[in-house]
Structure 1
Amino acid sequence: MGKRQQPQLNPATPTDDEFSLKATFPKIGNISAGSFNLVEPMNYLYIRIVKAKNLYGGEDHPEYDPYIQVRIGNYRASTKHIEKNPNPEWNHVFAFSKDRVHSSMLEVFVMSKGDERDDIKGRVWLDATEVPIRVAPDSPLAPQWYNLESLNNGMCVNGELMLAVWVGTQADEAFTEAWHSDAAGVSGECIVNTRSKVYMSPKLWYLRLNVIQVRDLETKDKNRTTPEVFVRVIFRDLMRMTKISVSRNHNPVWNEDLMFVVAEPFESPLVLTLEDKVGNKEEVIGKCLIHVGSLERRLVDKPVDPRWYSLEGPTKQPVEGQNGENNINLLTSKIQLRASLDGGYHVLDETTQYSSDLRPTVRQLWKQGLGVLQLGILNATGLSLMKKNAQGRTDAYCVAKYGQKWVRTRTIIDSTSPQWNEQYTWEVYDPCTVITIGVFDNCHLQGTDDGKTQDSRIGKVRIRVSTLEAGRTYTYSYPLLSLQTNGLNKMGELQLAIRFSCTSMFNLLQIYSNPILPQMHYTHPLSSHQQVSLRHQATQLLASRLGRSEPPVRKEVVEYLLDYDSNLWCMRRTLANCHRIKLVFSSLENIIKWVGIICNWKMPWLTALVHVILVILVLFPQVLLPGICMNFFVCGIWNYKTRPRNPPHMDPKLSCISQTLQRDLEEEFDRVPTTCNNQEDLKFRYNRLRLGAGHVQTMLGDLAAQLERMQSLLNWRDPRATGLFVSFSLVAGFVLYLIPLRIMFILLVFYMLRHPKLKSKLPSSPSNFFRRLPTRVDSLL
């Protein structure tokens, strides 16, 4: 084997200009009063095809399968065909962008669906320049009947067509349901999953199941006196088990809590099986089915009353009764459960640092809204070509998530600079929340879903609401960054307009004193392991429910916006967190350096000034706390002029991209269990993980040793050291009683600020004494 090359740093080193936030100045117009004022107005030519009548009849006009085709310029769009109906109804809307249409002739054809080719049965011709402009989107335009004309001689033919044509903007109520020319290209196929939609997350509940005990246990082996019994709980594709009962008798007791995440409407039952472990096998004793919707809903931390449930036998054969009826094979054994739907919790479907909603499940515990968050998704520029075919193309769409509301823009076909100009609104209940906007490439344009094709990630943007000034409109271009195994790539830029409007400033300020999570999280807290497990359950449940919508929100989209795999370890995040801690302590380091300058008399005038200030504080201690408060006030006012004016964005430098090795990126994108087949890479990861864990182990050991030394001052582990400390405490008590505290404080400060010539380079006596105290490290193996 040849010599392996040394790992190189990631070549993608970010620059300030390439990955920075850029202010933009879009031509935002007031499309309609009070709404859609964060996006640029876009004019569309709307054609609503309602229905037709009397298309054929009699021997001269045979039956056919009619459908409508709209032609304007190079664009063609068609409705679905309806089989053998002379009076079909479509109620379909087409929207053509006025900027892309350069023709004044609008033709609407009634077509006949054929096996080889489609025939034209009639048409309606309209002048697009004379179409009325709909100024008020709230007042719908009434459709009217048009006679069909022959394509050859212009004579009227059999049948009439009801339609409406107008010019409107994206504020029109028909915008979301319309077929868009910019979302289907020139060919004009009516693709369903390219439309913009609004989705609502299902109501999520925590299902708490407390398995208490079983009475009158019936085992298959009547002579078995010490059964090893446990309970297996299955809900959907999840399975949880209790431990084997410690009381190995015919009345086993567990008293264990099992938790699941369920969503309304409740579709799957809760299946409990009582099993006995016999050797290497597990024998089913009985089972019980519980309908989730019948469980009691709990709003406070008071537990619900336990109930006894009957167990059915494991046999699937019905038992015939005396009257010939089929009875359920019930056992005399009963299981006691305490099952409830805990609505006082907030079901965590996101990581806590990126939460967009902190409300409990039940609406009765919700508080009043604080304001409105408006988001305008304007456009994107410089998107990378995601489909690596012969020509290359990108079919981009955006998905935004805040609270229980998900929104999806329409898909712009084959464009690296798509123009969406869509606006959405959310109600804000807590300002300390984050809205997430992701950009994806649509890989399901033809409606095919083989389970392997996934929508590609282009990038995402996070904006914390609390960092936005109330009433101000932010218009910025956010860089779309994608971290891949080959390094950091800039996929383009996304231009957004966002505004947070506050209804009551008093209520907004009051929320800062309230707990972040609902009361149940503090009175009956969940463990960290439960939080991670339940969050993964909630993510999978949301992906399943939203994937059943039309058009669906794909599983990979839901997991990307909710940061499904954020709990996995990687070297880059570890370095980034260490860098964050270093930045926070940088100000403390400056204070320590400043104190060192004063103590070492590097600036004698400053040291003398500190002596004077300390004497004043000692002689007049009542000015100490007011002076500290005034210092904070002056610092806050001084920093106001340098306050950040831009919303935060993803910073590659803070993420330590340039310091990441190629191996680190490969490990970060590896799955669990690993898919790496290179034994050398696996060995490198394992050895590095052991080295990193060794550093953490040493740090924890040092911290434990310092705490144990403090404990050893009074526990007489070292009788001489404890005797010295107790004697010193006695003498110090008398000295502090005889000498005023002010004098002792000023003498201590003067001693610390003594000139360097009077200081020794050796450690001080208290430091030497503390380091000599015993620890429990001697007891470790």
Structure 2
Amino acid sequence: MAQNQRPNQKPNPPEDFSLKETSPHLGGGRVSGGNRLTTTYDLVEQMHYLYVRVVKGKDLQGKDVTGSCDPFVEVKLGNYKGTTRYFEKNLNPEWNQVFAFSKDRIQASVVEVVVKDKNIMIDDIMGRVLFDVNEVPKRVPPDSPLAPQWYRLDDRKGEKVRGELMLAVWMGTQADEVFPDAWHSDAAAVSGEGLVNIRSKVYLSPKLWYLRVNVIEAQDLVTSDKNRNPEVYVKAVLGHLVLRTKVSQNKTINPMWNEDLMFVAAEPFEEYLVLSVEDKVGPNKDDVLGKCMVSLQNVERRLDYKPVGSRWCNLEKHVVAEGEKRKDVKFASRLHVRICLDGGYHVLDESTHYSSDLKPTAKQLWKPSIGVLELGILNAHGLFPMKTKDGRGTTDAYCIAKFGQKWVRTRTIIDSFAPKWNEQYTWEVFDPCTVITIGVFDNCHLQGGDKAAGAKDSRIGKVRIRLSTLETDRVYTHSYPLLVLHSSGLKKMGEIQLAVRFTCSSLLNMLHVYSHPLLPKMHYVHPLSVYQLDSLRHQATQIVSMRLSRAEPPLRKEAVEYMLDVGSHMWSMRRSKANFSRIVAVLSGLSAAARWFGQICSWKNPLTTILIHILFLILVLHPELILPTSFFYYFLIGIWNYRQRPRHPTHMDAQLSHADTVNANEMDEEFDTFPTSRQADMVKMRYDRVRSIAGRIQTVVGDLAAQGERVQSLLSWRDPRATALFVIFCLIASIVLYVTPFRVVAVLSGFYVLRHPRFRYNLPSVPLNFFRRLPARTDSML
């Protein structure tokens, strides 16, 4: 017993990191697993709001000595009060603003709409309009919006005064089209620029292209020193990224390289590609021999693997003379390059294990969509206080969901540890073997302006769901744990409740997708190296982060990088242990088979051993039965495992990730900066080297584990469509192999394996494509 624990004191219960199935009231009614509702917003719980739309005023009463006024409108309902912007010296203002009051928090029976005149000391009341809450009409989309009407203003005594106000008041739900841009009573404490940062919005990540710059040669370069052999290289600059070729081995004024430089470019193309030829004249000293600028608008866009024509670019050189800069054009100096925008690739802006989009960049190469993904972000509960306000802990939570190019952001729920969003979003699905990511964050930018300039939104946790593990047309309602790793260890930050449905438009088309290559053709015809992919993935992440941070309201850099799993390839002792355990779990099946065979040999179960002897004799006497018997056995195992198929989506598994048992020393290493911030230069150099090597080993080990897990998923019904295809294949194969002589099968198989290269293709085979699409436990890694 620990010394600091009392004799009768019970130990703290372990954290519950499990996935829980829930039964919320969706679309106004309870939803079971297979039901399909047709109600608007049928994957979320209905939330009722009282909407007040203030359109404009007419012929208002002048309060100033000039006979004019500075009008604004104040909408009050109980303790909640919202105000419009005010106009200077305007008797006929137009506001066109909407106010939404949550029905659950309504504690008054009258809505008061007051028109006031803005003054320095006390605002003057110009008139008001009252509405009885019980008499407010209800509106349910897709009904047309309620038409606003003119209302005469009354004073406090109920007598008519000069002026009219155009209003519309109705009771609706979050499905109302004005809901995203309305002022909410839940955010009454937020004003000014902070209001922009709490609205729900939909974002589209920029369209990314691979820019391939093939530097071939240069001609007639003019060097500053004619008596030395130039060491020339080409520097390419796109935005903030700089890439360099190697120094040409041909040390003359006509150097050659024939080297590829790869960039990621985003539409619209805002930067120029700058190519400069430089001479390495000394240590840390380079002489620019000439430059040229290429507009990406004029670069050829390649959709397939056909060769691209080259071009000669004239080099220009800037010379400073007499304190002024003038440009000397060197028409004799030229650079021979081949530049193209490759649209046949899928630009990886996230880890390939968690990819949510596998389409090529060029829209002309897209296949038809196979279905629709619907996500209902219901609520969260048990959230931790993420910051301190007025001496108490508080959390202002919002969610981000990413799938393909479409990002969505829910509204921010102010000061709540159990926020209710109830927002529903839809995505087109082109490949079922993709992952949707949902992250929860604490909004630290409610003040706006300079007060929030240095603040960063804190991560509360995220969830990943692979679509291929979902049954078609079934509504999944679960509560997912929000887990975050800190330097002190794993911490559960709360739970989020989601409703997910994957609807297939054509089952045949979706099953056909399993035979296609996972990535577009260009990845196999002209494959990129591992180093190129790492560099391009980093470039794509930075571009997406920068573009989304410039939206309104912005998706902050820290949130985008967390959603894209930036840093997941860095070395981690915890991840290495987890991947090793995954390999051990995969290989445990072989050891279990060996133990079973040992029991057979030792006659632990005489009846089973006798049956194995009989089966062995049959197969020896009739070897043509080996293959059909094996496939039929797999068919029976697959059918048997159908009853035990997984019923829940994948989620973050703390035990699988070894996050619940990691020690402080390992966490200190995982959260250490790269390069390391620890003492001793020699240790730092060695430590960084080991981390770099071990990070690659860790990735390879994880990939090996994923291959074995894909083999296990063939018959586990983790992906119900893939297992169904494999089980049907096993049945057909067992029948075909039964009626076909074994010698014929063996000869045809041998000739097929040893076929001439002329009959081979660069694209992966159908079985390999099918295998690569099988789910692994990578989605459950933390």
The yes-or-no answer on 1:97 pairing with 2:98 is no
Identity %: 56
The yes-or-no answer on 1:653 pairing with 2:651 is no
The yes-or-no answer on 1:521 pairing with 2:523 is yes
CA contact (8 A) 1:297 1:342 kept: yes
- CA separation of 1:58/1:319 partners in 2, compared to 1, >3 Å: closer, same or farther? same
Whole-Å separation in 1 of the counterparts to 2:77 and 2:416: 21
Aligned-partner residue type, residue 520 of structure 2: P
Aligned to 1:216: 220
The one-character-per-residue Cα deviations of 1:275-296 (angstroms, maximum 9, x if unpaired) are: 1111121011111111111110
Whole-Å separation in 1 of the counterparts to 2:190 and 2:236: 54
Picking from 111, 114, 117, the partner of 2:119 is 114
CA contact (8 A) 1:79 1:190 kept: no
Whole-Å separation in 2 of the counterparts to 1:177 and 1:69: 18
1:154-193 equivalent positions in 2, closer than 5 A: 154-185=158-189, 191-193=195-197
1:355-754 equivalent positions in 2, closer than 5 A: 355-389=355-389, 390-448=391-449, 451-603=453-605, 605-676=607-678
Structural RMSD (CA): 3.0
Aligned residues: 680
CA contact (8 A) 2:194 2:445 kept: no
Whole-Å separation in 2 of the counterparts to 1:442 and 1:483: 19
Aligned-partner residue type, residue 474 of structure 2: R
Give the CA deviation at 1:357. Answer: 0.5
Whole-Å separation in 1 of the counterparts to 2:692 and 2:294: 47
- CA separation of 1:75/1:298 partners in 2, compared to 1, >3 Å: closer, same or farther? same
Give the CA deviation at 1:604. Answer: 5.1
Aligned to 1:44: 49
The yes-or-no answer on 1:20 pairing with 2:18 is yes
The one-character-per-residue Cα deviations of 1:633-682 (angstroms, maximum 9, x if unpaired) are: 11111111111101111111101124322011112122212234599997
- CA separation of 1:478/1:693 partners in 2, compared to 1, >3 Å: closer, same or farther? closer
CA contact (8 A) 2:571 2:691 kept: no
Give the CA deviation at 1:452. Answer: 2.8
CA contact (8 A) 2:569 2:695 kept: no
The yes-or-no answer on 1:293 pairing with 2:291 is no
Whole-Å separation in 1 of the counterparts to 2:563 and 2:406: 13
CA contact (8 A) 2:400 2:409 kept: yes
DSSP 3-state at the match of 1:191: helix
CA contact (8 A) 2:61 2:126 kept: no
Give the CA deviation at 1:28. Answer: 1.0
Aligned to 2:278: 275
CA contact (8 A) 1:74 1:186 kept: no
CA contact (8 A) 1:298 1:340 kept: yes
Give the CA deviation at 1:327. Answer: 7.7
Aligned to 1:72: 77
Aligned-partner residue type, residue 292 of structure 2: C
- CA separation of 1:229/1:391 partners in 2, compared to 1, >3 Å: closer, same or farther? same
DSSP 3-state at the match of 1:388: strand
Whole-Å separation in 2 of the counterparts to 1:83 and 1:550: 27
CA contact (8 A) 1:75 1:188 kept: no
1:239-258 equivalent positions in 2, closer than 5 A: 239-258=242-261
CA contact (8 A) 2:111 2:133 kept: yes
Give the CA deviation at 1:602. Answer: 4.7
When structure 1 is superposed on structure 2, of 655-664 and 445-454 the one drifting more is 445-454
The one-character-per-residue Cα deviations of 1:421-442 (angstroms, maximum 9, x if unpaired) are: 1100011110000000000000
Whole-Å separation in 1 of the counterparts to 2:126 and 2:57: 12
- CA separation of 1:431/1:341 partners in 2, compared to 1, >3 Å: closer, same or farther? same
CA contact (8 A) 1:185 1:414 kept: no
Give the CA deviation at 1:212. Answer: 0.8
When structure 1 is superposed on structure 2, of 341-350 and 656-665 the one drifting more is 656-665
- CA separation of 1:73/1:626 partners in 2, compared to 1, >3 Å: closer, same or farther? same
Give the CA deviation at 1:693. Answer: 10
Aligned-partner residue type, residue 181 of structure 2: E
CA contact (8 A) 2:136 2:169 kept: yes
Give the CA deviation at 1:121. Answer: 2.6
Give the CA deviation at 1:447. Answer: 1.5
- CA separation of 1:119/1:679 partners in 2, compared to 1, >3 Å: closer, same or farther? farther
DSSP 3-state at the match of 1:285: strand
Give the CA deviation at 1:129. Answer: 1.7
Whole-Å separation in 2 of the counterparts to 1:213 and 1:156: 86
Whole-Å separation in 1 of the counterparts to 2:172 and 2:582: 50
Compute the TM-score of the two structures, normalised by the length of structure 1. Answer: 0.82
Give the CA deviation at 1:692. Answer: 7.8
CA contact (8 A) 2:346 2:358 kept: yes
CA contact (8 A) 2:82 2:188 kept: no
Give the CA deviation at 1:482. Answer: 1.1
CA contact (8 A) 1:226 1:249 kept: yes
- CA separation of 1:294/1:141 partners in 2, compared to 1, >3 Å: closer, same or farther? same
Aligned-partner residue type, residue 160 of structure 1: E
CA contact (8 A) 1:184 1:412 kept: no
- CA separation of 1:100/1:311 partners in 2, compared to 1, >3 Å: closer, same or farther? same
Aligned-partner residue type, residue 51 of structure 1: K
DSSP 3-state at the match of 1:628: helix
Give the CA deviation at 1:383. Answer: 0.4
The one-character-per-residue Cα deviations of 1:379-433 (angstroms, maximum 9, x if unpaired) are: 0010000003411100000000001110111000000000111100011110000
- CA separation of 1:294/1:41 partners in 2, compared to 1, >3 Å: closer, same or farther? same
Give the CA deviation at 1:108. Answer: 1.5
Picking from 233, 236, 240, the partner of 1:233 is 236
Give the CA deviation at 1:328. Answer: 6.1
- CA separation of 1:170/1:693 partners in 2, compared to 1, >3 Å: closer, same or farther? closer
Give the CA deviation at 1:625. Answer: 1.1
When structure 1 is superposed on structure 2, of 83-92 and 237-246 the one drifting more is 83-92
CA contact (8 A) 2:489 2:663 kept: no
Give the CA deviation at 1:164. Answer: 1.1
Aligned to 2:339: 339
Aligned-partner residue type, residue 167 of structure 1: M
When structure 1 is superposed on structure 2, of 77-86 and 127-136 the one drifting more is 77-86
Whole-Å separation in 1 of the counterparts to 2:194 and 2:690: 54
Whole-Å separation in 2 of the counterparts to 1:174 and 1:277: 62
Whole-Å separation in 2 of the counterparts to 1:693 and 1:530: 17
Aligned to 1:148: 153
- CA separation of 1:347/1:663 partners in 2, compared to 1, >3 Å: closer, same or farther? same
CA contact (8 A) 1:76 1:186 kept: no
Give the CA deviation at 1:319. Answer: 14
Give the CA deviation at 1:136. Answer: 3.2
Aligned-partner residue type, residue 24 of structure 2: P
Aligned-partner residue type, residue 591 of structure 2: E
Whole-Å separation in 2 of the counterparts to 1:14 and 1:368: 53
Whole-Å separation in 2 of the counterparts to 1:646 and 1:59: 67
The one-character-per-residue Cα deviations of 1:464-513 (angstroms, maximum 9, x if unpaired) are: 00000001100000011111111111111100000011111101111111
Unaligned runs of 5+ in 2: 1-10, 30-36, 702-741, 744-782
The one-character-per-residue Cα deviations of 1:31-52 (angstroms, maximum 9, x if unpaired) are: 9955310111111111111122
Whole-Å separation in 2 of the counterparts to 1:628 and 1:294: 59
Whole-Å separation in 2 of the counterparts to 1:365 and 1:64: 60
Aligned to 2:348: 348
Aligned to 1:82: 87
DSSP 3-state at the match of 2:647: coil
- CA separation of 1:629/1:574 partners in 2, compared to 1, >3 Å: closer, same or farther? same
Give the CA deviation at 1:183. Answer: 3.4
CA contact (8 A) 1:137 1:173 kept: no
CA contact (8 A) 1:319 1:327 kept: no
Whole-Å separation in 2 of the counterparts to 1:516 and 1:664: 35
Aligned to 1:767: none
